[in-house]
Every structure is written in structure tokens, then in C-alpha cells.
Amino acid sequence: MFHNISKIIQFYSQGFKSMTVCKTLWKVIIIKLAVMFLVLKIFFFQGYLDNKFDNDVQKYDYVIDQITNITN
């Protein structure tokens, strides 16, 4: 079992080591995702529940109300 897992890991590590262009593309993708999530976190998720409610019970009630509230 461990021998098979070792072979799989070795297969992928050798594949990634031999890449040239793909390494650069993966770096660009990872940097892009990190920047995107950082921007989303800073500008769109600013602790709305923390600012509006004092304790976890109030936050829980608000979230449950918003999820189960049916609007027409």
C-alpha cells in the first residue's frame, strides 16, 4: 500500500520538476488567487456580524433568520 503511494508521489514530483513553462503558470495562478482572496476579504467581508451583534447567539439567530426567511 505504502509502496504504491510512494510511487504516485514520486511520479508527480518528477513531473513537476521537469516542467518549465507550467511552473511559471502555476506561480501566476497561485499569486492571482492569493491576491483575489485577499482583496475579497478586505473589501467585502469586513466583519459585518462582529460589528452588528454583541454575542454569538445573536449572530446565530440572525444567520438562521436570513437563511430560512422566504421573500417573495
Give the integer Cα–Cα distance in Å for 58 and 30: 37
Split at pLDDT 50, 70, 90, the class of 15 is confident
Decide if pLDDT at 72 tops 70.
no
Question: Looking at the whole model, is its pTM more than 0.85?
Answer: no
Instruction: Compute CA distances 48 → 1, 21, 41, 55, 60, whole Å.
Output: 48, 42, 12, 13, 13
Domain limits of the chain?
2-68
What is the pLDDT averaged over residues 44-65?
85
pLDDT attached to residue 35: 92
Give the integer Cα–Cα distance in Å for 51 and 71: 25
Give the integer Cα–Cα distance in Å for 62 and 49: 9
Coil vs helix vs strand at 11: helix
